[in-house]
Structure 1
């Protein structure tokens, strides 16, 4: 069989460099939201129309905490501001919600701790710029929340983009088998991941068992009731989960299906999760294997179309949203949750993954001084790894280049975007004060 023709690395780099004529790197610094931005409250309500409406006050309360919290909960607003703008046309698998707290430590299937992207609810194929720009904006917002100067935050953004460029150039030279095996170990980065590593080490199913369950009346364990954050579900919902369990099991990597069969679900509860995800249907299952000291926690989370979907060519309309998220995770992560899968019940698509298995992310308040810059650089390299795995790394490296034009451009973009987020946050707080949105704080 004749081999398919392949362009050389040099040819692909040249093709990427040529894209600078279409979109100069300095132009990437422009932040120009559409001039006819609709009313903020109307947009937030529209973006959350498919959510459980009774839970939205919890989401609004969490978003009210700070501009960075608002940014985390309003990915749809960012997509609407950025989606219509110019892009190079180089496509990768997007995380879709790339910000500093959507990277973290977790356990690989063999038990060793790794550090990687860890949230893929908005994942789909699209322009690399969208991920990188959202990650850069999050650096400025997180830096401001940690009390750092804008100069310090801009330096951190430049370090992030430098690490993304340098990483892309390095990954473009790697053999595919080298790239697919490349991972970042928390212990390789000293102080920057010290706290994350400590938290991940403590985050075990056994610890979660003590934290969120109690003895059931008839023996065994069940979830505690802390409504609305953790609450029992109707029997019909439990039955729906159990009816969908065989379909979920078939989506798990075949080598792990037998392991999953060794665990029996004994209780189901409803859980409120995160900031951006508040209002989704999130159910957690308590399972046991060889006795009461062998727990497994699984999370069934409803998935909606990605916020980026309106800004991409139309698809066929038959995408299973849980499968979309799971495939994005498989493509972007080096090591994937062994029980990752998807299913459908109650007319919703669900992603299924472990709830707790040595997972942890950094705390914004520690991102002070050199730690902000170091952590931003680490995240830039991680994003480059994910994009290199799923796009044309050589072509992208050719566009990015060796100089710092893109670094400085995106530092300016990130500051302008953060300023807009702060203005939107103030409008949001005014809407809460005026009663246009009801916010519950302290949850």
Structure 2
């Protein structure tokens, strides 16, 4: 085991980082610091994607300012890199926003609500996650028709919840912090609705929506171009073959579970916003008969949007990078979470839809947005604490609201910037 500083030393180390970057200095955002336009950054991220689907990606991003923000993680990564940071490095989600939280079934069969997207995850300045989450609350609230003052209150709620969560977890024993469960889930109507949807979102439900029965009685994937296309031939066989490597990436006790299924069919599926254009396959497996389906998503992973700006050790395999971050930051992870390689590309593998559901941001009205924002802050704090050193973060944050106030000012400025960037994208797409 490597040497570790004492609890007090780590708190004090976090406090000393305020000299490196004052908490008030997080408020800064200056678009004139950009040397590259968002359009250039986005086009660069399209390299290697399926050309015919890139247009669909931009169509989805053009739907709203928040949709643009979701698809423009590469732009925000660049923007965050332009200024100073706290110097406190932690495993970050990388794409922390209000729609990247959702319900899913944990390994013990119970529903979990947690951060659920780690495509951009790396070790980086902890506050980059906080800034992205805060900005997303403003944009989501505006899209839902919530008044600006209330949107800002929601951001304040998230920031206070994050700070208090970090400080609270710091005071726990190591094992207590590792086992910490968020208690407020059952008290939020918006989360209750998500959990109710998740209860119904079973593999059997996916069986009806994704597959159809042939005249011979065999079940195969439906074809719904361009979002779902059944595959046969070489690519389908390559996907099947890649499951052997995937099996090796599973935790040992999960390999036996996978061995109880057999592969029946393979399809190509379009998912998400920022991920559109990357290769994404769905594998239909069967366990004990036709009423025991399992759907695995084999999702292409490329380098994190933050990779050009952050050094440090990270798995060379991009699917492994994402899976290990997910296992570290989540309270419970998908038991089928793993990775594989297919035709020279890296992939993450996970269940496609096992009791999964996410919040509809249009339901985040004035009464519910602050409460949901508070939950976002607490879950982000828990993720950071599980995967890093919350004592250093706690030392840096302190008990005052200086950090909160600065991040709120940044979020307002960056949300406004995102709206301008979105309008520019929409105008460009019309020409």
- Shift of the 159–206 alpha-carbon distance from structure 1 to 2, 3 Å rule, reads same
- Shift of the 169–271 alpha-carbon distance from structure 1 to 2, 3 Å rule, reads same
> Tell me, what secondary structure is at the counterpart of 2:33?
coil
Please list the CA deviations of residues 192-237 of structure 1 after superposition, one character each: whole Å capped at 9, or x if unmatched: 4121111111110011111111003432211110011000224101
Moved more, 249-258 or 172-181: 172-181
Q: Distance in 1 between matches of 2:284 and 2:242?
A: 16
Q: Which residues in structure 2 correspond to 1:328-407 (within 5 Å)? A: 328-407=325-404
1:108 paired residue among 87, 106, 109:
106
Please list the CA deviations of residues 245-303 of structure 1 after superposition, one character each: whole Å capped at 9, or x if unmatched: 11111111111111111111100000000111101100000100110000000000010
Q: Distance in 1 between matches of 2:40 and 2:215?
A: 47
* 2:325 corresponds to 1:325: no
Q: Which residues in structure 2 correspond to 1:56-95 (within 5 Å)? A: 56-95=54-93
How many matched pairs?
A: 431
Q: Distance in 2 between matches of 1:414 and 1:89?
A: 20
Asked if the contact 2:188/2:372 (under 8 Å) is kept, the reply is no
The residue aligned with 2:272 is: 274
TM-score of the two chains, using structure 1 as the length reference:
0.94
> Tell me, what secondary structure is at the counterpart of 1:339?
coil
Asked if the contact 1:232/1:268 (under 8 Å) is kept, the reply is yes
Q: Distance in 1 between matches of 2:342 and 2:4?
A: 44
Q: Distance in 2 between matches of 1:5 and 1:422?
A: 47
Q: Distance in 1 between matches of 2:168 and 2:85?
A: 23
> Tell me, what secondary structure is at the counterpart of 1:284?
strand
Q: Which residues in structure 2 correspond to 1:2-81 (within 5 Å)? A: 6-33=4-31, 35-81=33-79
Asked if the contact 1:283/1:300 (under 8 Å) is kept, the reply is yes
> Tell me, what secondary structure is at the counterpart of 1:79?
helix
> Tell me, what secondary structure is at the counterpart of 1:370?
coil
**Structure 2 unaligned spans of 5+:** none
TM-score of the two chains, using structure 2 as the length reference:
0.97
Task: List structure 1 runs of 4+ shifted beyond 6 angstroms.
Answer: none
- Shift of the 40–91 alpha-carbon distance from structure 1 to 2, 3 Å rule, reads closer
The residue aligned with 2:225 is: 227
Asked if the contact 2:302/2:318 (under 8 Å) is kept, the reply is yes
Q: Distance in 1 between matches of 2:216 and 2:190?
A: 47
